[in-house]
Amino acid sequence: MRKEHQRLGLTSIRNRILFFALLITLLPSLTVGWLISNMMHATLEENLEEKLVEASRIVRGELDLWFRERNYDLHVFSNSFVISENYSKYLEARLKSGSNNSELSTHLRTLKTYLKSVKNKFTEYDNLYLLDKEGDVVAAAAESGGALSPLLPEDMAQQLQQSQFFKGQVFFDVQDNIPFVVMGTPLFTGQSEEFEGVLAVRVSLAEIHDILKSASESFSNAAVLQAMLVRLDNGRYFITAQQADIFNTPIFADEKIMIEGDNGGSLTYFPNHLGERVIGRLFPLVFTDWGLILAEDYDTVFARVEETRNRNYIFIAVLSIIIGLAAFFLTKQIIRPLRNLTEGAQEVADGNLDIRLPVEKNDELGFATSVFNEMVAELSRSQAKLEKMATQDVLTKLPNRKQILRIVHNRFEYYQRYSIAFGVLMIDVDNFKHVNDTYGHIAGDEVLRDIGKIFKETLRSFDSAGRYGGEEFLVVLVDSGDDNAKQVAERIRQAVENHSINYEDQTIKVTVSIGIAMVSPDDTNENSLINRADKALYAAKENGRNQTAYLNTIN
């Protein structure tokens, strides 16, 4: 009876060793397997986001080029002698004798004939219009089925004054439901600096579908890149790369992707217009009120994660059987390694990723111990990488916005406790958009990297500099007075001004504007100090850029 009792349950040492061997194998393996799956998931998300950002640059560049070409064509047509001469004479004739005379009709016929000839040469133009200053149609290439004024943007005059070009919203043709926009350029007659009319064109957006489709196909591998255009004001889809037919009924983007787009954009899981679960981003287009949604099918993107997870389960099951059999026959030899593995697993569970278990024998348990060490080492490296990614700006290698604001917060608490003064510098690269537009975004990245290096060379070891956002930086000066802060700010400004950035055989020179603020007893929190530095930066910008400004008055 005693032997029978010992063979049952956990009263048998052999069963206990088997149970604990399986437990120690399963728990760490499942935990590490789960973590590896999450790491792969995060890596795939990161790779996908890089791919989407790169694709968005190409698509946005193509769309920008498409608008520039339309702008260029309209400027060429508007400067045509036929347009300018006949429209000028039309205005003169209308002022002299009204609109009911043969001379007026002659000019109108000439204008309509020219507009019709242009329309026949450019098939993407649905219609061309010559408008007066009030936006009323003077002449058109073809008779319109409806009034043009509802299709014109309310700020048309403002757009024309700012950029000599206007773009309207997306509309849908009531017959074939093809989206189109109306755009135009001003007409000038004589020596007047005020435009006397507008040359407008109604353009079909079918050609933009080809742009999206081409970009989608060029970036496709395992998963098909989905490219979609929406109106930002209401989120309605109007063009997709995967569907040539435009939607017969309005379909709107999921609220989650629109909210993330308003918040700066990040990877979002959402259903697309076909109801499929996808992962993607919304990229607002700066040159129009459209949004570009790029996404890929969720199941296709993360298929490798599912395969790896299943392989891990099989591996864990096989390993458990092997270790269980070894525990059954070698109870005495494996007690100490099992104890080590148990203690090691507990250390990992408690957050100690520096643990390394000794490999005592070259057997299955020794192999399991080695695998455990490798998995914990990989987990430790991954955790260190994640911590670094969470606090460091990828481009400049400086602390990111979250980290530099944490530094300011900690310094402010230290000031409240010990009254050790400190200051902040808000730094912005002057005319940074011009650098991107002239030399490209990669050159702009090089400028930001070099400025980050200048901070590291100029500041003291216990001062901190971080990327606040875009081309803005925030510097924290520890134990610093007013004069010292001004000297440091001027030293940084001069260093940037005297520095040359070499990019593809080109020398780029930039300057910075700096706002200075010192902590004050009246500050209730660090935000008051940062806002003061930001106002000082604004004053430096207003005073002509490439200078420093000091503001220490709390409004």
Query: Which residues have CB under 8 Å from 197's CB, separation 6+?
Result: 87, 130, 131, 132, 133, 138, 186, 187, 189
User: What are the distances in angstroms from CA 308 to CA 34, 274, 279?
Assistant: 10, 29, 20
What 241-244 contacts at long range (C-beta under 8 Å, 24+ apart), as own/partner pairs, is 241/209, 241/212, 241/213, 241/215, 241/216, 242/213, 242/216, 244/209
- DSSP, collapsed to helix, strand or coil, labels residue 452 as helix
pLDDT interval class at 9 (50, 70, 90): low
Question: CB of 510 within 8 A of CB of 435?
Answer: yes
Please report, for the chain, the start and end positions of each structural domain, with discontinuous segments joined by +: 65-207, 401-550
Q: Give the mean model confidence (pLDDT) for residues 84-102.
A: 75
Q: Are 444 and 436 in contact (CB under 8 A)?
A: yes
The reply to whether 65-207 and 401-550 are identical in fold is: no
What dotted CATH number matches 65-207? 3.30.450.20
Query: Is pTM, for the whole model, over 0.85?
Result: no
Mean pLDDT of all residues in the chain? 82
Q: What share of the chain is helix, strand, coil (3-state, %, to 5)?
A: 55, 20, 25
Percent of the chain having pLDDT more than 90? 28
pLDDT (mean) for 443-448? 94
- Mean pLDDT score, 481-507: 93
Q: What is the pLDDT of residues 245-278, one digit of tens each?
A: 556 678 888 888 888 877 777 888 888 888 889 9
Comparing 160-174, 393-407, 478-492, the range with the smallest average pLDDT is 160-174
Q: Which of 27-41, 136-150, 222-236, 274-288 has the lowest mean pLDDT?
A: 27-41
pLDDT at 370: 77
pLDDT range class, residue 423, cuts 50, 70, 90: very high
Comparing 121 with 224, the larger pLDDT belongs to 121
The pLDDT of residue 352 is: 74
DSSP string, 258-306: HHHHHTT---EEEE-TTS-EEEEEEEE-TTSSEEEEEEEEHHHHTHHHH
Q: Which two tokens stand for residue 546?
A: 């490439």
* pLDDT (tens digit per residue) in 206-219: 888 888 888 777 77
More confident residue, 289 or 246: 289
Catalytic residue flag (residue 497): no
- Is residue 333's pLDDT more than 90? no
pLDDT at 56: 86
User: pLDDT tier at 191 (50, 70, 90 boundaries)?
Assistant: low
Helix axes 331-349, 303-329, angle to 10 degrees: 140
Mean pLDDT of 434-440: 93
- How many CA atoms lie within 13 Å of 483's alpha carbon, on the beta-carbon side? 0
User: What does the pLDDT average to over 270-290?
Assistant: 86
- Long-range pairs, 244-252, Cβ under 8 A, ≥24: 244/209, 246/172, 246/177, 246/178, 246/179, 247/177, 247/273, 248/177
For every residue of 384-427, DSSP letters joined together read HHHHHHHHB-TTT-SB-HHHHHHHHHHHHHHHHHH---EEEEEE
pLDDT in tens, 448-478: 999 999 999 999 999 999 999 999 999 999 9
Q: What is the mean pLDDT of residues 80-101?
A: 77
Q: For residue 141, what pLDDT is reported? A: 87
- Please check the confidence at residue 332 and state whether its pLDDT lies above 70: no
- From 46, 471, 472, 542, active-site residue: 471
Among 136-145, 328-337, 349-358, 497-506, which is the least confidently predicted range?
328-337
**CATH top-level class of 401-550:** alpha beta
In order of 14, 187, 525, 552, the CA distances from 410 in angstroms are: 56, 60, 11, 20
Burial class of residue 310 (count of CB atoms within 10 Å of its CB; 0-12, 13-18, 19+): exposed
Per DSSP, the residues of 7-41 read HSGGGSHHHHHHHHHHHHHHHHHHHHHHHHHHHHH
| Range among 19-28, 148-157, 215-224, 317-326 with highest mean pLDDT value | 148-157
* Span 285-290, average pLDDT: 83
What pLDDT is stored for residue 7 in this prediction?
44
Q: How confident is the model at residue 6 (pLDDT cuts 50, 70, 90)?
A: very low
| pLDDT at residue number 4 | 41
Q: Is the pLDDT of residue 484 over 60?
A: yes
Alpha helices in 164-270 (DSSP H): 206-218, 255-262
pLDDT for 408 equals: 95
* 3-class secondary-structure state, position 51: helix
